[in-house]
Amino acid sequence: MKTLQKYIVLLVFIGIFPLGLTSCANKQYHLAVDASIISKGQTKAQVMDLVGKPDYITKTYKGTEQWYYYNDITPFHRKIPILGRLFGKREMEVIQVTFYMNRVSKVIYYVAEK
What SS3 state is found at 43? strand
Domains of the chain by start residue, with CATH: 27-113 (3.30.1450.10)
Distance CA 76, CA 84 (A): 9
Distance CA 109, CA 34 (A): 9
Give the mean pLDDT of 78-107: 83
The predicted pLDDT at position 60 comes to 86
| pLDDT tens readout for residues 16-43 | 656 555 554 545 567 888 999 999 999 9
| pLDDT tens readout for residues 40-70 | 999 999 999 999 999 999 998 888 999 999 9
Give the mean pLDDT of 88-101: 89
Q: Kindly give, in sequence order, each residue whose CB lies less than 8 Å from that of residue 42, ignoring residues fewer than 6 positions away.
A: 50, 103, 104
